[in-house]
Structure 1
Amino acid sequence: MQFTAIHRGLGLEPQPLTWTLIEQAVDAGLPEQADLDWKGKRHEHKGPVWKDELAKDVAAMANSGGGIIVVGVSEDKPTSKAVGFDEPVQWNDLDARKYREVIYNNTHPPVSDVTFDNLVDREGSVLVITIAPSLDAPHLLISKNIDFRAPFRDGTLTQWMKERQLAAAYRSRFADRGDFTARLHGLYDEVAGSSHADSRVTFVAVAAPETARPSSLGRITGAKATYIFQNAHLLQNTLFPFHDRSSPLLDKGASLERARRGFRRQTARYDREDGAHSRYRSAQASVHDNGAVSLAWTLGGIVSNTEPHEVTSVLVEVAVGSFLAVLASAARALGMTGSYELRVGLAWEGSDPITIHGPGELDAPEPYAPTAADDFYPAPVHTIPIKAFVPVDISIDAMADDDTLWGAASELALDCVAQGGVDTLEALRTELR
């Protein structure tokens, strides 16, 4: 769902931005705002300087809390009011790629959270460029004509930041980034603290969006969260070749499915003993009202003949894949854009160091004893006891495609298991993709 200056100006509830809403805004003569810019024609109409103009308009929005640029709507210059539609805006994937390249190459740090929507009707078409608020502001414009100046929206005008404004913007960036990181780490500690890490090694993962889901959209309903968890299981089966392996989403008949309201979040959980192996199995996942997601799953001692401080690398891989499936399902269902920051790790409060067993290590009945005639000597497994696991941090696009999700899962899983001396993956190895 969307809530833009057009929704606000028309007095509407959050809803998808459509041609009809643009038409209503034009009929109402809606004026430009700090977060709404009318453009009659595409930026190429400006001639040789069009790339500078595009980068400046986008950076100004990003530096001013985000907003939308609507191309194809004419304005009355003295009043900045929308007065009609210009010629239809033709748009395709090649255009979007070109615009992204221009924005990336002409802003520093690059403005990356930009989306393009071509709204088409039999009466015509417009292009809506949506720019999200940025934790990396201020973004400077860099080009042959303008070097290292920061634009911003001053009401309906685009101005250049003065030295004092730049200094304040940088202070805000560092403070906001520090606050965001502190909140992410705090969420990780909260999830770890509410898990069973005091009795078994537990996989813990959290992800928070850099641009939070607006509070104006209200709380996430139980039905929406239940759909997210159900769809996550389908995504896991599509994205990752785990097949019949136990996972936090579906473990020996227990499943993360039905969500219930918690503190600013919806949470699904299960908690039970597995009578067949006398192994304690527990998992919980949450979708937070601000768009964040979290997951915890007990891994220690799940496999027969292992202790609470012992885990297998393949189950760590499965846990990472399941978490990314939950994240992707939530981002797509909630319409989240921009980047997510992730923190993933193994929580354990016991005195024994965490032990991670590599692929096949527990399956081999006896170690292989090579003879002098053998040309190949299998490398021994060197397990590294982990006295203090270091959580792994990574960034990922909320709307990442399947290949990107696979790559992120592999990277996260390998960074986790490598701390225990495991340097190969099993469930997420490249040839399975």
Structure 2
Amino acid sequence: MAFRSRRLEALLNGCLETVHYGDIAALVGRQEAIEAEDLDYKQQHYGGEPKHREELAKDVAALANHLGGVLVIGMAESRGLPSRAFDVDLDDQRIRDLQQRIASSTAPPVQWEPFLKENPSNPGHGFLLIAVPRSPQAPHAITMAPTKPNAPALRYPRRSGSKTDWLSETYVATAYHQRFTAVADRATRLRDIETWLVTSELSRERPQLLVTLVPDVPGEMRIDQSSFTKYKGQLFAAQPLIASTKRLFQQVSVGPHRLTLQQRVGRSDGDQAHLYDDGSGIWVQPLPTRVDTDEDPTDRVRSLQGDVLVHRMMSAVTFLAAHARDRCAATGTASVEVGLVDGMYAHPYAPPRPFPRPGQPARSETYPLSVDQVPPFPSGTHCSEVAQAEATALVDDLADGSTGMAQAVSLLANHLVHTFGIPEAHSVSAAGALRLAAWHPAQRENMSAWALQQAMAVIE
């Protein structure tokens, strides 16, 4: 399973497959390149002595048991800051030796991938990158005999900042339990997250879009005072609506196993998101609609623009997947469920609407929900209280917010609009291209510029 990290890719100006020797050498002296929970430097190759073999096992297992990360071999550091490049030899025998050592000294064997970055001025030498993804088989133990007499025979390391912690017996037991139950829990997890939000927001009577994402290989986000301060700053500064500079969320708080984001302080009728510590997330969004002016109130319809629906879905899946990948190091595929309802009581997971009690004010007047598209694309032929869709996609594709994300949203949007009698949501194609003619004229320039920035195809 490949390792991806937006933070490290931004630091190196590219993904691990494409970066060059010079990109890594340029890290010398840069404060943002200091050793961290996902980055470690080694001046030389791991030696063959027992203490060096133990150190190799500890380093790779610690990354696999936490967020994953990269070991840069061939870079000296001073107090964690990269200080000087020391080219190491990049012969095949070194790679084969690493494979044998890691496989024989960790259990389950840690999965990793080597990247050789040769110095153009020193053929056969350069940096060796050892990329270790967060592991679905965690926790990984060091199985070789300890070099210190008082150390336990079976040890479980985990990266903590730029250092290594050792997992307690309670943590190890919990992690083993989660490993064996994770697959069965994914479908239940998705439904539980959505049900909890629906039942806590039953007062919402406007049309709502709910987008829920659950990674198939869960991640882990540590929530303490230090991390909360960091995440709070990130989320206040976030611009989660694509092609927009709007900072949407004004309140960030902590809930059970999650961060809670709200658009309006002290009110629950705006956008709200819950970002869970395993990489799961849900975002509920009130949608702007228009009621027609038919003289007979019984014939009036509440219309939602199809491009608004697609825009909000694209924003939500990108934002939630970025949380899963970048804060929780979730990897692989994710299950995504979207629900469009004309009021929260219409949601399939909501309880029955209670009968009004004597003296209780009557409900405000509501109108059936339909979906319209920009002419000449077809609009809805009938109304519905609820529409749902599900899809599975790669976390990285969704978080990158480019063609792979657009393809997933096209599939989800098509399934939603079928409920309203529309064959296709034309704002985005099945191939992941933005179809400008299907967007409202006021949005075309912004969406076109955003698509160009994301290297996404644009068609008329």
Shift of 1:173: 8.3
Which is further off, 338-347 or 389-398? 389-398
Q: 2: distance between equivalents of 1:155 and 1:69?
A: 22
Shift of 1:200: 2.4
Paired letter, 2:320: L
**Structure 2 residue aligned with 1:349, among 322, 345, 355?**
345
Deviation digits for residues 74-121 of structure 1 (CA, Å, limit 9, x no counterpart): xxxxxxxxxxx9953389xxx9xxxxxxxxxxxxxxxxx966556899
Question: Are the structure 2 counterparts of residues 71 and 227 from structure 1 closer, same or farther at C-alpha, using a change threshold of 3 Å?
Answer: closer
8 Å CA contact retained: 2:262, 2:270: yes
What is the aligned-residue identity percentage?
17
8 Å CA contact retained: 2:277, 2:328: no
Question: Are the structure 2 counterparts of residues 191 and 390 from structure 1 closer, same or farther at C-alpha, using a change threshold of 3 Å?
Answer: same
Q: 2: distance between equivalents of 1:283 and 1:393?
A: 23
Deviation digits for residues 17-45 of structure 1 (CA, Å, limit 9, x no counterpart): 3223887999992444996699xxxxxxx
Partner residue in 2 for 1:255: 248
Which is further off, 209-218 or 195-204? 209-218
Question: Are the structure 2 counterparts of residues 218 and 33 from structure 1 closer, same or farther at C-alpha, using a change threshold of 3 Å?
Answer: farther
Shift of 1:284: 0.7
8 Å CA contact retained: 2:382, 2:421: yes
SS in 1 for 2:238: helix
8 Å CA contact retained: 2:211, 2:316: yes
Question: Are the structure 2 counterparts of residues 154 and 20 from structure 1 closer, same or farther at C-alpha, using a change threshold of 3 Å?
Answer: closer
8 Å CA contact retained: 1:33, 1:156: no
SS in 1 for 2:128: strand
For 1:333-344, list aligned pairs within 5 A.
Answer: 333-334=326-327, 336-339=329-332, 340-344=334-338
Q: How many residues align?
A: 304
Shift of 1:187: 0.6
SS in 2 for 1:266: strand
**Structure 1 residue aligned with 2:271, among 283, 292, 298?**
283
Partner residue in 2 for 1:317: 310
SS in 2 for 1:343: strand
Paired letter, 1:338: T
8 Å CA contact retained: 1:34, 1:154: no
- Provide the aligned C-alpha RMSD in A: 5.2
Q: 2: distance between equivalents of 1:211 and 1:193?
A: 27
For 1:225-244, list aligned pairs within 5 A.
Answer: 225-228=232-235, 230-233=237-240, 236-237=242-243
Paired letter, 1:264: H
Question: Are the structure 2 counterparts of residues 172 and 262 from structure 1 closer, same or farther at C-alpha, using a change threshold of 3 Å?
Answer: closer
Partner residue in 2 for 1:424: 424
Shift of 1:310: 5.1
Shift of 1:320: 0.3
Shift of 1:217: 7.1
Shift of 1:206: 1.6
8 Å CA contact retained: 2:45, 2:88: no
Paired letter, 2:37: Q
Residue 287 of structure 2 corresponds to residue 293 of structure 1 = no
Partner residue in 1 for 2:445: none
Question: Are the structure 2 counterparts of residues 69 and 295 from structure 1 closer, same or farther at C-alpha, using a change threshold of 3 Å?
Answer: closer
**Structure 2 residue aligned with 1:209, among 207, 215, 219?**
215
Runs of 5+ unmatched residues, structure 2: 8-34, 75-85, 96-110, 146-176, 294-299, 347-352, 354-365, 437-457
Question: Are the structure 2 counterparts of residues 360 and 124 from structure 1 closer, same or farther at C-alpha, using a change threshold of 3 Å?
Answer: closer
Paired letter, 2:193: L
Q: 2: distance between equivalents of 1:357 and 1:295?
A: 21
8 Å CA contact retained: 2:391, 2:408: no
Deviation digits for residues 259-290 of structure 1 (CA, Å, limit 9, x no counterpart): 22233222221359xxxxxxx96211232233
SS in 1 for 2:196: helix
Question: Are the structure 2 counterparts of residues 304 and 27 from structure 1 closer, same or farther at C-alpha, using a change threshold of 3 Å?
Answer: farther
Question: Are the structure 2 counterparts of residues 337 and 291 from structure 1 closer, same or farther at C-alpha, using a change threshold of 3 Å?
Answer: closer
Residue 289 of structure 2 corresponds to residue 302 of structure 1 = yes
Residue 412 of structure 2 corresponds to residue 412 of structure 1 = yes
Paired letter, 1:357: V
8 Å CA contact retained: 2:275, 2:323: yes
For 1:391-410, list aligned pairs within 5 A.
Answer: 391-398=389-396, 401=400, 402-410=402-410
SS in 1 for 2:388: coil
Deviation digits for residues 111-134 of structure 1 (CA, Å, limit 9, x no counterpart): xx9665568999953331424433
Question: Are the structure 2 counterparts of residues 175 and 29 from structure 1 closer, same or farther at C-alpha, using a change threshold of 3 Å?
Answer: closer
Q: 1: distance between equivalents of 2:311 and 2:40?
A: 40
Shift of 1:295: 0.4
Partner residue in 2 for 1:17: 39
Q: 1: distance between equivalents of 2:330 and 2:43?
A: 21
Partner residue in 2 for 1:224: 231
Paired letter, 1:261: V
Partner residue in 1 for 2:373: 359
Q: 2: distance between equivalents of 1:317 and 1:330?
A: 20
Partner residue in 2 for 1:88: 89
SS in 1 for 2:195: helix
Q: 2: distance between equivalents of 1:191 and 1:25?
A: 53
Paired letter, 1:390: Q
Q: 2: distance between equivalents of 1:353 and 1:90?
A: 70
Partner residue in 2 for 1:110: none
Shift of 1:332: 5.6
Q: 2: distance between equivalents of 1:67 and 1:90?
A: 25
Q: 1: distance between equivalents of 2:52 and 2:304?
A: 60
For 1:57-68, list aligned pairs within 5 A.
Answer: none
Paired letter, 2:274: S
Question: Are the structure 2 counterparts of residues 388 and 330 from structure 1 closer, same or farther at C-alpha, using a change threshold of 3 Å?
Answer: closer
